C-alpha cells in the first residue's frame, strides 16, 4: 500500500492530517445534526401519541393526528434516515442483507400502517416507525463518537508534528509551512524547538529528546552525520539539518498510517460475524413474515399481526453484532498506539493469542546492534596500548574500529605510515620504526605470530561471544581488545516474562554459533539457530511452525521474509522500512518488553471481542422469542436494540482500564 501511495493520501499527510480530523469530525457532526433534528420532530409525535393513546385526551380527531404523525415522521425516516433506508433496501436487490435491511424494512412497514389506518384498516404504527429511526440515529451517533474517540490517538500522533520550519534559502532564514519543505532543504532548529522532519545533521551539535520514538528518557547526542527524526525536540544547541524525508515518508507519517491501517482491517472473527449477519438477516425476514401470517391466521387481527412482525424485525437488527469487533479493535489499537505498539493488521490481534513459539533475530532486536568494547587485556601500560591501537584504527571506517577509537578517547593520535586494511582480517601500519599488526586470530596465524601467553584469555573472550582484536608490535603480542554487541537493557526482563507465560523462545541469526549462544545464555534463550543466511530465515520459521504458531521479532531488511512467513510478524520501529512494512505489529519503542505488552493487549482485546459478541447475541436470543410471542412492543424492541449497541460500545471502552 505504501509503495504506491495515492495522491489523496499524500495530500492528507502533507496537510498534517487536517483531512482525517475533519472526516472524523464531519461524521460525528453529521450524526449529531441528524440526532437533534430527528428528536425535534419525534418529540411532538411522542407527546401526541402519549396524550391521545395513553391518557385518552382528544387533541385532534383521529385522522388529523395520523396525518400530523405521518407529516412529522416523513423527514425522520426518509430524509434523516435516508442513508439507512438506501443501504437497507439495497440488500433486497443485491440479496446481500445487512444490519440496515431489518431497520429499513421495519420502519417502512410501520410507517405504511399510517396510511392504512386513515381508512381504519389497521392500527397506526407510523409514530412508532419515527421513534425507531430516531433511536437508531441516536445509536449511530454514539457509535461514531466511540470511533472518533478511538481516532483521538491518531490525532495525538498528528499533533506531535511541527507546524512550520526555518529553512536556509540563499543565505537567509525563511519560515515556511511544513508542507513546503523539500528534500535537501537545510533546516535550522534552535534549542527547545521541534525538529520539523526526518533528516541528517550537517552542522552543529546538540542533545535531542527522542523519547516519543525510542521511549528513552535520556536525550540522544547528535553531531554532524547523525540522523534525526521529525517531531523530536532539540535541546541545547543549534542544529542545521538536511531534510531526507518529507510528508508521508517521515517516521511519524508512517506510524500514523500504520495505526489507520490497523483500525480499518478485519479480524477473522469479524468476518465470521459478517457471515452470520448475511445468514441471520434473511432468517429473521422469514421469521417476521411467518409471525405475521401466524398471528393473522389465529387472531384475524391485522394491526396486531403487523405490530408483531415490525417488533421482530426491529429487535433482531444485529447492529451490536456489527459493532462488537470493530469497536474493540479500534479501542485496542488506540491503546497500543499510546504504548508504542502499532497494530498494522487487525487479524494479528486474534492470531497473537494462539502463539506458542516466539523467534527472535539477534542484532538490533535482542542486542543494541552497536558494538562496544567489553574488555581490554594487555601486558604493557594500558594508555600506551590504547594509543597504538586507536592511532591505527582511526584510519579505518569499520564499525569495530570506530568502537575502539571511541573507547580510547584520545586527545592526540600517533602518526601512522604504510597503513593497510587487510579485508576481513585486520589492519597493519608503522608508528615510527615499529611495525604494528591489529587483527583476528586468522591474521595472526597467517603471519605466524605466536599467541603464547595470551591463548587462554583470547579463548575466554571468544567463548563469551566477543569479537577479539589482537595487537602486536614488531611481531610481539601486546594484548587484546574484546568487542561485543551487548543485549538491550530490558531484553533479559522481557524474555523472563515470556518464559513465565509459557512461551518457547528461539534465536535465529546469521551470526556464528559461539557468539549467538553467548548472547542467548545472557538473556535466557535456550534454543539457538545460528549461521542462517538471510533467505533461509523464513524456512527456519516454517520448520518451527510445525510445532505451533510462531511470532517472529526482527528489525532488518534480511528479516522481512521471516516476518511475512511467521503467523505474526513483529517489527522493531528502529528497524528498516522494509522490516516495518513486513510486520503485522510494529514496536515503536524497539524494546522487547513491547512483545509482552502486545501479547497482553491481544488477549485483552480478543476477550472484549468475545464478550461483545456474547452481548450482541444475548439480546437477540432473549428478545426475538418475546417479539414472536407478541409481548414486545416495537418501541420496547427498538430501545432494547439500542441498549445492546450501547452495551457493546461501553464494554469495549472498558478496555482502556486494562494495564498491559
CA distances from 516 to 37, 498, 520 (A): 67, 19, 6
Q: Cell numbers at residue 146, please?
A: 466511540
Q: How far apart are the C-alpha atoms of 562 and 543, rounded to whole Å?
A: 11
Q: Rounded to an integer, what is the distance from CA 467 to the centroid of its chain?
A: 37
Burial 588-616 (b: 16+ CB within 10 A, else e): bbbbbbbbbbbbbbbbbbbebbebbbebb
End-to-end CA distance of the chain: 30
Cβ within 8 Å of residue 585, ≥6 positions away? 336, 341, 342, 343, 344, 345, 348, 352, 568, 569, 570, 571, 598
Q: How far apart are the C-alpha atoms of 85 and 101, rounded to whole Å?
A: 8
> Up-side HSE of residue 611: CA atoms within 13 Å toward CB?
18
Alpha-helical runs (H) found in 575-657: 577-582, 593-628, 634-653
For residue 361, indicate whether it is catalytic.
yes
Cβ atoms of 290 and 298 closer than 8 Å: no
CA distances from 152 to 267, 268, 349, 644 (A): 22, 25, 20, 24
Burial 359-381 (b: 16+ CB within 10 A, else e): bbbbbbbbbbbebebbebbbeee
| 100, 198, 209, 361: the active-site residue | 361
Cβ within 8 Å of residue 149, ≥6 positions away? 334, 653
Listed residue (241, 231, 148) closest to 187, CA to CA: 241
Kind and range of the H or E run holding 8: helix 7-14
- Strand order in 417-422's β-sheet? 367-378, 476-487, 467-473, 434-439, 426-431, 417-422
Q: Rounded to an integer, what is the distance from CA 620 to the centroid of its chain?
A: 33
φ/ψ of residue 230, rounded to 5 = -60, 145
Listed residue (219, 224, 167) closest to 192, CA to CA: 219
* Three-state secondary-structure class, residue 160: helix
Cβ atoms of 367 and 553 closer than 8 Å: no
Cβ atoms of 425 and 447 closer than 8 Å: no
Listed residue (258, 207, 214) closest to 234, CA to CA: 207
How wide is the angle at C-alpha 421 spanned by C-alphas 419 and 424, nearest 5°? Answer: 160
Catalytic residue IDs: 361
Amino acid at each position: 500500500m505504501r509503495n504506491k501511495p495515492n495522491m489523496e493520501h499524500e495530500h492528507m499527510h502533507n496537510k498534517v492530517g487536517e483531512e482525517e480530523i475533519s472526516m472524523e469530525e464531519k461524521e460525528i457532526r453529521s450524526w449529531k445534526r441528524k440526532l437533534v433534528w430527528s428528536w425535534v420532530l419525534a418529540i411532538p409525535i411522542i407527546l401526541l401519541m402519549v396524550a391521545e393513546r395513553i391518557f385518552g385526551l382528544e387533541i385532534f380527531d383521529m385522522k388529523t393526528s395520523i396525518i400530523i404523525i405521518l407529516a412529522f415522521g416523513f423527514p425522520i425516516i426518509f430524509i434523516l434516515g435516508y442513508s439507512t433506508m438506501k443501504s437497507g433496501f439495497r440488500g433486497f436487490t443485491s440479496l446481500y442483507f445487512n444490519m440496515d435491511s431489518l431497520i429499513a424494512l421495519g420502519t417502512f412497514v410501520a410507517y405504511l400502517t399510517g396510511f392504512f389506518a386513515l381508512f381504519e384498516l389497521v392500527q397506526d404504527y407510523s409514530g412508532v416507525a419515527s421513534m425507531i429511526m430516531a433511536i437508531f440515529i441516536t445509536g449511530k451517533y454514539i457509535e461514531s463518537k466511540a470511533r472518533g474517540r478511538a481516532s483521538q490517538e491518531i490525532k495525538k500522533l498528528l499533533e506531535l508534528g511541527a507546524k512550520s520550519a526555518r529553512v536556509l534559502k540563499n543565505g537567509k532564514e525563511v519560515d515556511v509551512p511544513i508542507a513546503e519543505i523539500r528534500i535537501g532543504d537545510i533546516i535550522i532548529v534552535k534549542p527547545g524547538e521541534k525538529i520539523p522532519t526526518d533528516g541528517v545533521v550537517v552542522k552543529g551539535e546538540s542533545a535531542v529528546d527522542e523519547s516519543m520514538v525510542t521511549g528513552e528518557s535520556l536525550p540522544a547526542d547528535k553531531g554532524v552525520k547523525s540522523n534525526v527524526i521529525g517531531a523530536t525536540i532539540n535541546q541545547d544547541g543549534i542544529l542545521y539539518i538536511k531534510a531526507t524525508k518529507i510528508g508521508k515518508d517521515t517516521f511519524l507519517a508512517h506510524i500514523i498510517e500504520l495505526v489507520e491501517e490497523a483500525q480499518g482491517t478485519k479480524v477473522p472473527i469479524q468476518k465470521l460475524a459478517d457471515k452470520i449477519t448475511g445468514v441471520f438477516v434473511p432468517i429473521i425476514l422469514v421469521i417476521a413474515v411467518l409471525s405475521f401470517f401466524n398471528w393473522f391466521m389465529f387472531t384475524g387481527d391485522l394491526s396486531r399481526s403487523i405490530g408483531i412482525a415490525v417488533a421482530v424485525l426491529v429487535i433482531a437488527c444485529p447492529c451490536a453484532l456489527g459493532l462488537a469487533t470493530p469497536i474493540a479493535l479500534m479501542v485496542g489499537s488506540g491503546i497500543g498506539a499510546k504504548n508504542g505498539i502499532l497494530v498494522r493488521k487487525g487479524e494479528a490481534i486474534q492470531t497473537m493469542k494462539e502463539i506458542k513459539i516466539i523467534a527472535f533475530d539477534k542484532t538490533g532486536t535482542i542486542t543494541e546492534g552497536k558494538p562496544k568494547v567489553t574488555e581490554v587485556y594487555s601486558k604493557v601500560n594500558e594508555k600506551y596500548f590504547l594509543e597504538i591501537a586507536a592511532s591505527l584504527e582511526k584510519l579505518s571506517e569499520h564499525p569495530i574500529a570506530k568502537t575502539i577509537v571511541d573507547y580510547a578517547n584520545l586527545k592526540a593520535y600517533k602518526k601512522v605510515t604504510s597503513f593497510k586494511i587487510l579485508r576481513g582480517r585486520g589492519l597493519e601500519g608503522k608508528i615510527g620504526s615499529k611495525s604494528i599488526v591489529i587483527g583476528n586470530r586468522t591474521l595472526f596465524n597467517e603471519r605466524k605470530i605466536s599467541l603464547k601467553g595470551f591463548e587462554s584469555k583470547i579463548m575466554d573472550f571468544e567463548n563469551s561471544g566477543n569479537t577479539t582484536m589482537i595487537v602486536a608490535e614488531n611481531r610481539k603480542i601486546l594484548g587484546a581488545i574484546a568487542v561485543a554487541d551487548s543485549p538491550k537493557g530490558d531484553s533479559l526482563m522481557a524474555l523472563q516474562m515470556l518464559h513465565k507465560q509459557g512461551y518457547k523462545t528461539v534465536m535465529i541469526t546469521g551470526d556464528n554459533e559461539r557468539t549467538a549462544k553467548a548472547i542467548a545464555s545472557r538473556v535466557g534463550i535456550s534454543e539457538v539457530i545460528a549461521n542462517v543466511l538471510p533467505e533461509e530465515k523464513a524456512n527456519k520459521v516454517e520448520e518451527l511452525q510445525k510445532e505451533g504458531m510462531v511470532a517472529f521479532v526482527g528489525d532488518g531488511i534480511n528479516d522481512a521474509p521471516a516476518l511475512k512467513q511467521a503467523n505474526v510478524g513483529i517489527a522493531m520501529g528502529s528497524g528498516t522500512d522494509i522490516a516495518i512494512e513486513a510486520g503485522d505489529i510494529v514496536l515503536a519503542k524497539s524494546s522487547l518488553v513491547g512483545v509482552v505488552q502486545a501479547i497482553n493487549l491481544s488477549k485483552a482485546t480478543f476477550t472484549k471481542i468475545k464478550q461483545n459478541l456474547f452481548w450482541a447475541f444475548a439480546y437477540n436470543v432473549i428478545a426475538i422469542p418475546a417479539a414472536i410471542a407478541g409481548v414486545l412492543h416495537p418501541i420496547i424492541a427498538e430501545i432494547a436494540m439500542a441498549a445492546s449497541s450501547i452495551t457493546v460500545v461501553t464494554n469495549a471502552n472498558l478496555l482502556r482500564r486494562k494495564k498491559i
